[in-house]
Amino acid sequence: MTTEPLALPTSPDAWPAWIRDRAASELALATGLVEGLRTDPPADPVAVLRQWDRAGGHLGNVAAVGSLFGNVHPSEEVRELADNAEQEASRVGTRWSLDRELYDVFAAIEDSAVADDPLAARLLAKVRADFRRSGVDKDEATRDRISAIRERITELDQEFSRVIRDDVRTIQVAPDQLDGMPADWLEAHPADEEGLVTVTTDYPDSVPVRMFAHDQDVRRDITIAFQERGWPTTEALLDELFSLRHELATTVGYADWPSYDADVKMIRTGPAIPEFIDKIAAAAEEPMQRDLGQLLERYRRDFPDATVVPGYDYNYYAELVRAEKYDVDSQRVRTYFDFGKVRQGLLDVTGRLFGLRYEQVDVPVWHEEVTAYDVSTSTAGEPIGRIYLDLHPRDGKYKHAAQFTLVDGVEGEQAPEGVLVCNFARGLMEHDHVVTLFHEFGHLLHHVLAGHGDWFRFAGVATEWDFVEAPSQMLEEWAWHADVLQTFATSADGEPIPADLVTAMRDADDYGKGIFARTQMFYAAMSYWFHADRARAEVPDLTARMVELQEKYAALPYLPGTHMFASFGHLGGYSSGYYTYMWSLVIAKDMFSAFDETDVFATGAATRYRDRILVPGGTGDAADLVADFLGRPFSFDTYAAWLAR
Ligand SMILES: [Zn+2]
């Protein structure tokens, strides 16, 4: 490392001051650089771009520290300070994006002046696009309207999430209606004075009930309650949100919101989204029919006259198909996944694959369960970054699994540092969680390996947003191979997990992938059309549109009277881009086809993948990086073949 890693505070008391100082000093550097650009820009256009990029890097340092510690620090005071820092960074970023004088600095640069520096030219094009998309070149009244719209969109987005989160519904059932539920679940759900058990729509309650409760009425009632969360409150919020996004997109020159959103993604145009959805839906047609056939066959043993399986019975019967056909005992599977061995195994496996070494270092962390490692290349032994693993749940900590940036890497400026934040059990792990760990580690590797370029704008996972999941989805593949798992998944007495058990786990997991793909395309179609429909003279009713799209794409029928879209949270963050997860998966499957499935540790493909996909970060268009790695443009065929398998 040409630069030292960030030194975190050595004592708990030092944290509040450290967060304040880090945020204030980085913010001062950022605003100083931008002020210089406005008042006295360098004569050399590349120097102008560099100054802007460094300002963005320093502002990014504030946002990163804010976002990370606002989500993981054990002290509420520190979390609040961090949240404030993140919000301040976001406010400053918005102010810059609407600063006309700044925009003029970049508008004045001649393209020819940066023509012999391809990355500077790429950056200039991106900076101009950012400004154009922000509406900075509009008149003042329009800019004011844009600011007002953006602010209202943020409010609506937050309100939508809040309503869904707070709208916990319940059903009450007699204890004997809960036959089939696991013992620990029943123990946690005693009957009240009236002799009834309350089941809420929260995941730990409702997911197992839909999967295991023998009583069909219970499964139906909890499914309806679950799908009705947010209804009818969120309909008006969504209506306003979609209309405002449309107004914003058309104001800055796009046909509609999906076109605005897609312009900076791999997919490029709005209309390409429904084309992609239809292509996946067609590829999934036969696999879906195959899955539904197996499902209906099992269903008819209980309901001989049934012609379809209702949505509220899907999870229960899919689970029965899996259990009866593949015979995977998840209790037995767990005994092979001891957390400590899994964590070390993950490091060993990825180290071997990508030529890396992880050396655990004794440095200050924010919680005693967090471990830190210096990453280096095994050939040169040269340190290339630092990672932190914060993998267990605790109060006040982020509830999901994600990779957070601590520092973005730029050669000679600062070394990349990333943090995995997950919530795994401390003892034995579910295999699902092992897969999640590999997935998130894929993001972390991307962050560290792509942290050695010249530009902050292209550092780490700064690739198109519909590609960003591909490296992580691809790394999941290693968590499904016996050769890999057997290196660390051993029972208490040291027996490696049997290969036939891994095969059965994989087959069981594969069951339902046709149904799953079609369900995902139903969601993707809602996410697209709810936004695209705003361009129509008469905007269709959301419920009617949802029912129409469900009938067209989904494998399972609409449950009359329900309004599932009202709690479809991804309409907030993903907006019209819910297709992105499937898009990334198509590319992940295609990239994995370059590896030899019978020799997943072969380093040839892994090295090429590291150097051509991960290391470049955002310096090239993802489609070009993938073509460079595969030796051909990416294709749909590997995914379609996997789906049909
Ligand atoms: Zn991910």
- List CB contacts of 574: < 8 A, sequence separation 6 or more: 527, 580
Cβ–Cβ under 8 Å, residues 330 and 508: no
CA distances, 200 to each of 156, 214, 317 (Å): 26, 17, 21
Q: How far is the CA of 434 from the centre of ligand 1 (A)?
A: 14
Q: How confident is the prediction for the chain on average, in pLDDT? A: 96
Query: Ligand 1 centre from 577 Cα, in Å?
Result: 15
Tokens (6 digits) for 462: 């700064």
Q: Residue 325 Cα, ligand 1 centroid: separation in angstroms? A: 30
Q: How far is the CA of 470 from the centre of ligand 1 (A)?
A: 8
- The CA distances from residue 175 to 188, 214, 223, 313, 644, in Å, are 12, 12, 18, 20, 42
Q: Which two tokens stand for residue 232?
A: 């009818």
pTM for the model: 0.94
pLDDT of 1 reads: 47
Distance 589 CA to ligand 1 centre (A): 15
Strands 197-200 and 170-173 turn out to be antiparallel
Q: How far is the CA of 443 from the centre of ligand 1 (A)?
A: 7
Share of the chain above pLDDT 70, in %: 100
520 and 513 Cβ atoms separated by less than 8 Å? no
Radius of gyration for the chain, computed over Cα atoms and rounded to the nearest angstrom: 26
pLDDT at position 184: 86
List, for residues 579-602, the tens digit of each pLDDT value: 999 999 999 999 999 999 999 999
Which tens digit of pLDDT belongs to each residue from 193-248? 999 999 999 988 899 999 999 999 999 999 999 999 999 999 999 999 999 999 99
Q: Pick from 498, 508, 444, 501: which is nearest to 471 by CA?
A: 444
Over 80: is that where the pLDDT of 2 sits? no
Strands 402-407 and 197-200: unpaired
d(CA 327, CA 203): 25
What are 542-568's pLDDT values in tens digits?
A: 999 999 999 999 999 999 999 999 999
Question: What's the gap in Å between 472 CA and the centre of ligand 1?
Answer: 6
Q: 520: left (phi > 0), else alpha (psi -120 to 50), else beta?
A: alpha
Cα dihedral sign, 555-169-423-75: positive
Q: What is the pLDDT of residue 341?
A: 97
Which residues on neighbouring strands pair with residue 173, listed in sequence order?
Answer: 197
CA distance 528 to 257: 9
CA of 444 to the centre of ligand 1 (A): 10
Query: Which pLDDT belongs to residue 204?
Result: 84
Mean pLDDT of all residues in 286-305: 97
Alpha carbon of 222 to ligand 1 centroid (Å): 29
How far does the centroid of ligand 1 lie from the alpha carbon of residue 330, in Å?
24
Distance 423 CA to ligand 1 centre (A): 15
Res 138 pLDDT > 80: yes
Place of tokens 């996909």: 613
Distance 401 CA to ligand 1 centre (A): 8
Does position 388 have pLDDT exceeding 70, yes or no? Answer: yes
**Beta-bridge partners for 199:** 171
CA 439 to ligand 1 centroid distance, Å: 6
Give residue 460 CA to ligand 1 midpoint distance, Å. 14
Ligand 1 mean position, distance from CA 440 (Å): 6
Ion ligand 1 neighbours (CB, 5 A) are 469, 472
Centroid of ligand 1 to alpha carbon of 438 (angstroms): 10
For residues 3 and 359, the answer to whether their CB atoms sit within 8 Å is no
- Confidence band, pLDDT 50/70/90 cuts, at residue 329: confident
Backbone region of residue 180 per phi and psi (left: phi > 0; alpha: psi in -120 to 50; beta: other values): left
Q: Is the pLDDT score of 49 beyond 60? A: yes
Q: What is the pLDDT, as a whole number, of residue 330?
A: 80
